[in-house]
Every structure is written in C-alpha cells, then in structure tokens.
C-alpha cells in the first residue's frame, strides 16, 4: 500500500509541474492581434496574425442551424409547406469571419529616429534565451514599453502586410509557421530581402499599436518601431532551444 501511495504522489506532482510550465505560455497568444499561433500550416498573413493577427481572422460563429432546424415530421400540419428559410432570420452577417479593418501604428519612425540614441541598447536578444525574452515581451509588455532593443533573426514577410523577425524554435502558441518571432515596422526599403532566407538585425523601440476589427473590437499588438534594419553577412544560431 505504501509503495502504491508513493507512486501516486509522484504522478500528482508531475501533473502539477506540467501545468505550471505549460499554462503561462498559452497566455501569449492573447497578447497581440498580429500574432498567429503555430498550427503547422504554411505561414500566412497574420490577420490578425499579434492574436501574429490570426486568432481573429477566423469564423467565430458556430453553425446554429444544426440546433434550430426542424424536419417536416416535427412541424405542425399547417406549417409543413412553409419553407424553413422564410421562417428564420438571415444570419449572413453573423457568419462573416472577424477580420482586421485597420491597424494603427501611433509613432512616426522618421521623427523618432532623429532623437533616438541607438548607441544605448536596453535589451539585446542574442542566441541564448531568444524564445524566453520574446515571450516575456508579450507577457509583461508594460515592463518593456519604450525600451530600445536589438534582435537578430530571419526576415519574415507576412503577405506583404506585416514584417517580422524570428528564428525557428519549439512549437508554441505565439509561434508562426515554426518561427519564434516579433513584429517590426520600418520605413526602409526591404524589397531585396527574401522572406525566411535573409538574416537581419533590427534595432528599435518596443511599441504598442492597435487593430480595429470588423466586429468593432479593438485589439492591441506589440511591435518594434525599427530605427535601423540591416542585412547580416552571417546567421546566428538557428533553430533556437530556449
């Protein structure tokens, strides 16, 4: 009996430890309307895609007809010949997917570049703790807002609408197509950069913007207001593990 109780205790402790490790990561997907959870599918525009903008661009209305429709046998005799479609209100508007109507980036890159001090970087994201640092930006953004950061990774073009910097890493709720990434906005010409191939360095300021959704909701997203984006001659560690 004591032997069995010992193993039950260890199993319970293991389950608790697993939940403690997993639950905080799931919060990340709710932090930005541009961030798209990894679903092992080809990377698409984050519409959202923080929430890389993709939890929003989905059909959120269930098919209520499954619960409301009735067969002719269920109807009174005088209603059997009345078309069901004419007795139910139209739900076309309700069935439309929620999409991003507009994005607001409230800072002027050109003006901020004139006064920014790029010689002092508050946070440099390198080969170690890459995923950990990005996760903490999403989880505790208020602690990082307006700080100057530097980060390297692959240039990621999300359908010509959003740009991200990231590296391949473990599957997680805030990953996009297998990448641990973070959005940046720039006024530089990136036309020569190849998505998922060009290794870049981004130096800028952590900012918060907002997305206006088709249902009237406003969702925040976090991004780097890029003061400088450079193509690097060599790549860092990829994939990352922490």
pLDDT at 147: 97
DSSP conformation class of 176: B
- Assess if residue 88 is contained within a domain: no
pLDDT at 199: 98
List CB contacts of 173: < 8 A, sequence separation 6 or more. Answer: 25, 26, 28, 29, 37, 38
- Assess if residue 63 is contained within a domain: no
Residues of the chain with pLDDT under 50: 2-3, 16, 19-31, 36-75, 79-80, 82-90
- Assess if residue 66 is contained within a domain: no
- Assess if residue 39 is contained within a domain: no
pLDDT at 11: 64
Pairing relationship of beta strands 179-185 and 218-231 according to DSSP bridges:
parallel
- Assess if residue 109 is contained within a domain: yes
Look at the chain and report how many structural domains it folds into.
Answer: 1
pLDDT at 159: 87
Beta strands in the chain (DSSP E): 100-104, 123-125, 148-158, 162-168, 179-185, 199-213, 218-231
DSSP conformation class of 56: S
- Assess if residue 178 is contained within a domain: yes
What domain range is 109 assigned to?
Answer: 100-231
Whole-model pTM above 0.75? no
Which CATH number characterizes residue 176's domain? Answer: 2.40.50.140
- Assess if residue 113 is contained within a domain: yes
- Assess if residue 29 is contained within a domain: no
């Amino acid at each position: 009996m004591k032997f069995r109780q010992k193993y039950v205790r260890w199993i319970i402790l293991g389950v608790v430890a697993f939940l403690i490790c997993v639950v905080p990561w799931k919060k990340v997907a709710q932090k930005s309307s541009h961030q798209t959870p990894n679903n092992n599918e080809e990377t698409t525009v984050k519409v959202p895609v923080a929430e890389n903008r993709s939890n929003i661009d989905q059909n959120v209305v269930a098919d209520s007809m499954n619960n409301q429709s009735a067969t002719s046998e269920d109807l009174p005799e005088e209603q059997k010949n009345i078309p069901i479609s004419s007795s139910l209100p139209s739900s076309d508007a309700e069935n439309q997917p929620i999409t991003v109507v507009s994005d607001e980036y409230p800072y002027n890159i050109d003006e901020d570049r004139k006064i920014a001090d790029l010689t002092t970087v508050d946070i440099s994201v390198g080969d170690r703790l890459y995923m950990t640092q990005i996760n903490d930006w999403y989880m505790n953004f208020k602690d990082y807002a307006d700080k100057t950061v530097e980060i390297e990774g692959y240039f990621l073009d999300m359908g010509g609408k959003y740009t991200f910097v990231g590296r391949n890493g473990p599957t997680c709720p805030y990953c996009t197509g297998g990448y641990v990434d973070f959005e940046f906005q720039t006024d530089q010409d990136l036309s020569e950069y190849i998505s998922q191939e060009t290794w870049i360095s981004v130096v800028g300021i952590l900012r918060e913007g907002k997305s206006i959704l088709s249902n009237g909701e406003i969702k925040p997203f976090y991004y780097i207001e890029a003061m400088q984006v450079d193509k690097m001659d060599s790549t860092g560690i990829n994939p990352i593990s922490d």
